[in-house]
Amino acid sequence: MKVSIIGASGYTGGELLRLLVNHPEVTLDRITSESNAGSFVHMIHPNLRGFNIKFSSIKESFDSDLVFFCLPHGVSMDYLREFYDTGVKIIDLGADLRLKDKDVYKSWYGLDHKCPELLEKAVYGIPEIHREEIKKTKLVANPGCIATSMIMALYPLRHLNIDKERIVIDSKIGSSASGDSFSASSHHPERSRAIRCYSPIYHRHIAEVEQETGFKVTMAPHAIEMVRGIFTTIYLFLNQPYDEKEIRGIYRDFSENNKFFRVVKQKKGIYRHPDPKILTGSNFCEVGFELDRENRRMIVFSAIDNLMKGAAGAAVQNMNIMYGLEEDTGLKYIGYHPI
């Protein structure tokens, strides 16, 4: 199928392009970037040297079956309706279609939604939850990266008797999650080795967790010494005692139905809990846990590559599902060890 990427000069667009150039079923149509139109992609994404792909402009003609939107939130909205009306399939990696309720959207993003009628048409792009709907839709809202790491860990526990009002989440985030625009705070001497909490409590991805799991969470993201990767630590209060086998069983069943979901809780080896370090470039989400039976508490760990399962990898996974392909087509990436 012929696909285009709108806004391909950013990290998400670049990662998506890396996946698409080696995807067996895909031929590329337009790879747009207004500021770089006419220039070679590898001047921005050096890992794509040798492919000789050029950026084009969104104003040029399209001949695509599916279009990926990798535009900042608020900008996507300007083009979504125009493209949707042409009948083309769309996967929006931005935030404009993630929240079903335009008032909730306004409260988190401070913008009036320009195409609210698309909100209930869009399917939230976590296949592990919405696989059947994704098969039938023409419009997918790719989830936020931190949201993905939280939802993948919490959703399988939705039937447990836990205090759904008191969930504490402490997330550690790689610098690539804030995109390629640089600032004083991203200047190497200031950013290197920092442990910097940013937008605690009011991080936008929280809204997606509540929408998808019904859990009310408090979350604080911390930028740490990492480029790719999200490591999320979730603190749960249980209303009744559970034992390890029960919890592990729940997660194991979930992994049996979802090939990109892995349970990691080992007694041996260096990597006994999930670790984004070894997931780099792969589409896996690894979840583990530690149970404090007496005090009825549990800690759950969740690790992903924010540019893969948290963005481009999930987008290709959604595309595969929309076209009835094997879900891991063009996504058979294994992490590297050591890295």
Report, as residue numbers or ranges, the catalytic residues: 145
Ranges of H-type helices in the chain: 11-21, 76-84, 102-109, 127-136, 145-154, 188-191, 205-213, 244-257, 313-322
Q: Does 57 bind other proteins (CB under 8 A)?
A: no
**How are strands ordered across the β-sheet holding 167-173?**
196-197, 217-223, 167-173, 230-237, 297-304, 285-292, 261-263
Type of residue numbered 205: H
Q: Does 263 bind other proteins (CB under 8 A)?
A: yes
Whole-angstrom Cα distance, residue 187 to residue 106? 31
Comparison of 55 and 215: residue with beta carbon closer to other proteins? 55
Three-state SS at 149: helix
Q: Tokens in use for 199?
A: 């937008």
Are β-strands 297-304 and 230-237 bridged in parallel, bridged antiparallel, or unpaired? antiparallel
Total site size for other proteins, rule CB under 8 A: 18
338 binds, options other proteins, a copy of itself, none, Cβ within 5 to 8 A by partner type: a copy of itself
- Minimum distance from residue 156 beta carbon to a copy of itself (Å): 18
Bond from prior residue into 338 cis (ω within 30 degrees of 0):
yes
Total site size for a copy of itself, rule CB under 8 A: 39
Among the listed ranges 83-91, 104-112, 125-133, 247-255, the one in contact with other proteins (CB under 8 A) is 247-255
Q: Does 324 bind other proteins (CB under 8 A)?
A: no
Q: Does 185 bind a copy of itself (CB under 8 A)?
A: no
Three-state SS at 70: coil
Comparison of 25 and 256: residue with beta carbon closer to other proteins? 256
Whole-angstrom Cα distance, residue 79 to residue 68? 12
* Residue span 305-334 as binding mask against a copy of itself, x where in contact by CB under 8 A, dash where not: ---------------------------x-x
Q: Tokens in use for 61?
A: 């003609």
Q: How many helices (H) and strands (E) does the chain have?
A: 9, 13
Q: Are 305 and 282 in contact (CB under 8 A)?
A: yes
Type of residue numbered 122: A
Three-state SS at 298: strand
Whole-angstrom Cα distance, residue 274 to residue 60? 44
- Minimum distance from residue 138 beta carbon to a copy of itself (Å): 30
Among the listed ranges 119-127, 210-218, 261-269, 317-325, the one in contact with a copy of itself (CB under 8 A) is 261-269
Q: Does 24 bind a copy of itself (CB under 8 A)?
A: no
Q: Does 9 bind a copy of itself (CB under 8 A)?
A: no
Q: Which residues sit in the known binding site for NADP(+)?
A: 9-12, 306
Comparison of 57 and 266: residue with beta carbon closer to other proteins? 266
Q: Which residues sit in the known binding site?
A: 9-12, 306
Three-state SS at 254: helix
Q: Does 265 bind other proteins (CB under 8 A)?
A: yes
38 binds, options other proteins, a copy of itself, none, Cβ within 5 to 8 A by partner type: other proteins
249 binds, options a copy of itself, other proteins, none, Cβ within 5 to 8 A by partner type: other proteins
- Taking CB under 8 A as the criterion, the residue among 25, 103, 190, 244 binding other proteins is 244
102-109 contact pairs (CB < 8 A, 24+): 104/207, 104/211, 108/204, 108/207, 109/73, 109/74, 109/204
Contact set with a copy of itself (CB under 8 A): 11, 14-15, 18, 21-22, 43-50, 175-176, 180, 227-228, 262, 264, 266, 268-271, 275, 278-282, 332, 334-339
Contact set with other proteins (CB under 8 A): 38-40, 42-43, 52, 244-245, 248-249, 252, 263, 265-269, 272
